[in-house]
Amino acid sequence: MIEHSIDAVLSPKGRINRLAWWIGILATVAAGLIGTALMNADAFDESTNAVPHAPTMAAFLWAALAAYVATVLTLKRLDDAGRPKWLGILFGAAATFLLAGWGIGAFSDPFAPPATLATMWGLVLMMTPALVEAAHRPSRAHPRA
């Protein structure tokens, strides 16, 4: 099992089982959404010259941390399931582009304009194979030392 919690969420090395992945992903998504919503409040508004519909810097950094942790957990889970690392790299790349688009205000409304809509949901679809593989595959047997 996971011996050092901070290494489990910040270091892409190692393996985690399916239960630990589910707990970690659900906790990361919940913390990411709640923290981003709290830090994107008007109380955190940095200036009157900020880009309209773009998140505050605090919300962006919190979401970036959550995306990094989700990518690390997914990479570890894919390693544990014996799946290729490129699925985890694809997940991380799509998460990075989603985060960047949201950071500049492009994905503030996911249901309008058509080009932005297609780009955002295309990136979400790029993340899906890694999530499906991580959630579905059983763990490989651990080599005995």
* Percent above pLDDT 70 for the chain: 78
Q: Name the band, by pLDDT with cuts 50, 70 and 90, for residue 28.
A: very high
Q: Is 139 helix (H, G, I), strand (E, B) or coil?
A: coil
Determine the pLDDT at residue 1. 46
Tell if the pTM clears 0.85, that is, is over it. Answer: no
The arithmetic mean of pLDDT across residues 121-128, rounded, is 84
Determine the pLDDT at residue 134. 84
Can you tell me the distance from the alpha carbon of 56 to that of 8, in angstroms, rounded to the nearest whole number? 28
Q: For residue 55, how many other CB atoms are within 10 A of its CB?
A: 22
Q: Name the band, by pLDDT with cuts 50, 70 and 90, for residue 50.
A: low
* Percent above pLDDT 90 for the chain: 19
Q: How many helices (H) and strands (E) does the chain have?
A: 5, 0
Can you tell me the distance from the alpha carbon of 34 to that of 66, in angstroms, rounded to the nearest whole number? 11
